[in-house]
Amino acid sequence: MFDLARSSLFFERMDAEHPEVVQNIEIVHENKRLLDSAYHQPKHFILSLNNLLRSLLFFVENSIKNSPSWLNASVTEFREVHRKDYEMLKYLRNVSAHQKLIFPAESLVTGLFRVYSNTDYKLKLGHGNHREPASYAPDLAFKNTADIFDNLLTFSSLAFMDLEHCAFAECLGVTRRWFYKADFKFNEKNVHEVIDVYNVTSSFSESLLDHVCISFARNKGLQFDKKFTVVRAEHNNVNTLLELDLYPSLFSGWWEDRIEPLNFGVRVDRNRGRIHQAADEYYSWVYEHLVKEPAEYESMLSKFANLEPDVIFTEEYLMEFLSFVTNNHWHFKKAFPGGFMKSKVTPSDVMMLQRYGRTLVDEYKTGKLCTIKGAKDQLNGQIAKIIGVLGSTPSS
C-alpha cells in the first residue's frame, strides 16, 4: 500500500524512526497527485480537492499536537511563515468537513500556445479571463475539458491554425482555473477573498512536505534530494490541456518527431492503460510458456537456485524467472496434472515460493546487497525444500 518508505534510503531511515510521519507524507503527496491528474475532470477534481484539504490539515495539526520535537518545531515554523495560507486552508477544510464539499467556480482560457517545456507554456493568442471565475452555458459548465475541447476551440482553429500545424511546438489548448470565495480571520481581521484554490492548496502542500523532510535531514545529518515542489509557469502541464495531449499521433506525423502527451492527467491515464495492457500480455505469455512435465519443473527450480540475482535480473532470464517463480502455481498445475492430491508438495509450499520470489524482486529494486542476499537465500531454501519433497514423491 505504501511505497514512499522504499523509494530511497532517506525515507527508509525516516520510516525506521517515524513510520506514521512517512505514511502521512505519502498520503498528502498522493492526494496532491490525484488532484493534479483530475484537474480537467471537475467531479474528480472536487473530490480530490476535499480529500487533500482534510489530509493536509490533519498532517499539520497532528504534527503540532502529537509529534517528536523536531517535527513539532518544523511544522509550527512553517505554519507561522505561511499563516495566511494556513488560515485559508483551515477555513476550507472546516467547511468541507462540517458543512459541505468545497465546490469551486471555474474559468476557461482558450487559444494558441507555444510549448517551451512541460511546465512552461506561453499563451500567444487567446480568449478568456484567468483573474476571476466566469459563468458558462450548460453545455460547457463543469464538463471534462476533453469533452468540450473542440467546441471551445473551433474559432481559434479557424482563425489561427493551418490544418497540419506547421509551426513546431505551437498548438491550441485550454487552460482551466478553479476559484473559491474564502471567508477567514487573519491578523484579527475578517478576510474575504476569491482565491485560486488549486494554487494555494498545491503550493502549501508541496512546500510543507519539503520543509518537513529538510528539517528531518538537518536533525539527522542526512541529505534530502527528492523535492516535492514543482515550479510551473502560469500555463503548464497540469492546468492546460493541449491538442497534442489528445491526438499525439497526428502531431508525430505533422512535426516528424515522436510526440507524447504532456498533460499530467493524460499521462497518468495512458500509463495506467499501458500497465493493464502489459499485465494482460504478461499473463498470456506466462500461459504459453508453462513447463509441461515434472522433470522440467524440477529443472527450472534448480536453475534459479543456482543463478545469482544479477544474472536473474538480466533480460535473458527475467521474464522466465517472473513467470516460473512468481506464478508458480500455474506451472505446478501444468506439470502435475494430478495436482496436490498426488504430490507431497503442498499449496503452502508453492505459495511461499511465490512470496519469496516477489520479495527478491522488491529487494533487488532497492539495490541493497545485504537484503538482496538475504532474500535470495530465503528463496533458495524454499526451492531446496520443494526439490526435496519432489524427490520423495513416487512417480505416477
Domain membership of residue 227 (yes or no) is: no
Point out the domain boundary residue: 250, 274, 298: 274
Co-location of 148 and 72 in the same domain: no
pLDDT score for 2: 81
Co-location of 366 and 382 in the same domain: yes
pLDDT score for 339: 83
Co-location of 110 and 155 in the same domain: yes
For helices 294-306 and 328-335, give the axis angle rounded to 10 degrees: 150
Co-location of 157 and 21 in the same domain: no
pLDDT score for 340: 86
Domain membership of residue 174 (yes or no) is: yes
Phi, psi of 197 (to 5 degrees): -65, -30
Co-location of 89 and 154 in the same domain: no
Co-location of 327 and 380 in the same domain: yes
Sign of the four-CA dihedral 131, 132, 133, 137: negative
Co-location of 269 and 325 in the same domain: no
Inter-residue contact 35 to 49 (CB < 8 Å):
yes
Co-location of 154 and 249 in the same domain: yes
Q: Return the bridge partners of 193, or none.
A: 182
Co-location of 80 and 33 in the same domain: yes
Co-location of 242 and 137 in the same domain: yes
Written as nine digits, the cell of 31 is 492526494
Domain membership of residue 228 (yes or no) is: no
Written as nine digits, the cell of 261 is 502527451
Domain membership of residue 186 (yes or no) is: no
Closest CA to 104 of 141, 67, 139: 141
pLDDT score for 307: 96
CA torsion, points 9, 11, 17, 22, in degrees to nearest 10?
-170
- Could you list the residue range(s) of the whole structural domain that residue 151 is in? 105-180+238-274
Residue 165: count of CB within 10 angstroms of its CB? 18
**What is the mean pLDDT of each successive set of 10 residues along the chain, which is 396 residues long?**
85 95 97 98 97 97 92 97 95 93 95 95 90 90 95 87 89 96 87 93 98 96 91 96 96 94 97 95 96 95 96 96 96 91 91 97 90 96 95 58
Query: What is the spatial distance between Cα 349 and Cα 277, in angstroms, rounded to a whole number?
Result: 30
Give Cα separations from 339 to 66, 120, 175, 200, 343 (angstroms): 54, 59, 59, 60, 7
Co-location of 245 and 295 in the same domain: no
CA torsion, points 121, 123, 127, 128, in degrees to nearest 10?
50
Query: What is the spatial distance between Cα 119 and Cα 262, in angstroms, rounded to a whole number?
Result: 9
Residue 111: count of CB within 10 angstroms of its CB? 21
Structural domain total, the chain: 3
pLDDT score for 1: 61
Domain membership of residue 350 (yes or no) is: yes
Query: What is the spatial distance between Cα 310 and Cα 317, in angstroms, rounded to a whole number?
Result: 10
pLDDT score for 191: 86
Please give the single-letter amino acid code of residue 134: A
Q: Return the bridge partners of 184, or none.
A: 191
Query: What is the spatial distance between Cα 61 and Cα 38, in angstroms, rounded to a whole number?
Result: 26
Domain membership of residue 282 (yes or no) is: no
Domain membership of residue 322 (yes or no) is: yes
Query: What is the spatial distance between Cα 30 and Cα 33, in angstroms, rounded to a whole number?
Result: 5
Query: What is the spatial distance between Cα 215 and Cα 17, in angstroms, rounded to a whole number?
Result: 14
The DSSP annotation for 26-69 comes to HHHHHHHHHHHHTTT-HHHHHHHHHHHHHHHHHHHHHHHHSS-H
CA torsion, points 272, 276, 282, 287, in degrees to nearest 10?
170
Domain membership of residue 141 (yes or no) is: yes
In this structure, what DSSP letter does residue 235 have?
B
pLDDT score for 396: 46
Co-location of 349 and 254 in the same domain: no
Please give the single-letter amino acid code of residue 213: C
Q: Where are the beta strands (DSSP E) in the chain?
A: 105-117, 120-127, 170-186, 189-196, 240-242
Inter-residue contact 114 to 74 (CB < 8 Å):
no
Instruction: With H, G, I as helix, E, B as strand and everything else as coil, classify residue 240.
Output: strand
